[in-house]
Amino acid sequence: MSDIADEIAEKFIYRRRTCVIVKLVNVPLRVAPNGVCYNGYVSVIPRSRRDYLAKLWAFTDRIKTVELTYFGVLGHLPNSDIPKSLWFLGFDTTHIWNSEHPITQTLGHVKRQTMKLADEMIRKRI
């Protein structure tokens, strides 16, 4: 089994939030039929790290657009110019449900869901 590699597919500003779409390649075929899928991330309102860690579970319970699977920084990604001080909430598409509905793993679908997540986070002041 090959190692999954990730790279930034797209970075954009939507409603003053930094949004990042990450492309995963070499994904096992049982997870992604073509070996590729995408994950979406939206920056959170600047707060202290302690505030975010204390409220992480409260955030995940409040978000209804997608199932949140990530909370943290993205500065570790290859060729990233994303500040390590910027925190993100995000979701991935490597679940069995996604493999049964491959459209959910496409760049277009993930980008739309990322923008919906940003809209919801803005409404809820996250």
Mean of the pLDDT values across residues 22-27?
A: 89
pLDDT band, very low/low/confident/very high, at 1 (cuts 50, 70, 90): very low
Of the candidates 15, 23, 64, the one whose C-alpha atom is nearest the C-alpha of residue 43 is: 15
* CB-based contacts of 107, cutoff 8 Å, min separation 6: 9, 10, 21, 23, 38
Q: How far apart are CA 117 and CA 109, in angstroms?
A: 12
Is the pLDDT higher at 23 or at 80? 23
Q: Give tens-digit pLDDT for 39-90.
A: 999 998 877 566 666 666 677 778 888 888 888 888 778 778 888 888 899 9
Which amino acid makes up residue 72?
G
Q: What are the backbone angles phi and psi of residue 43, rounded to the nearest 5°?
A: -70, 150
pLDDT band, very low/low/confident/very high, at 2 (cuts 50, 70, 90): low
Q: How many domains does one find in the chain?
A: 1
Q: How much is the mean pLDDT over the chain?
A: 86
Range of the domain at 97: 5-123
Tell me what pLDDT residue 10 has. Answer: 95
Q: How far apart are CA 58 and CA 81, in angstroms?
A: 29
Q: Are strands 87-91 and 36-43 parallel, antiparallel or unpaired?
A: antiparallel
Q: How far apart are CA 121 and CA 126, in angstroms?
A: 5
Is the pLDDT higher at 2 or at 81? 81
Please check the confidence at residue 8 and state whether its pLDDT lies above 80. yes
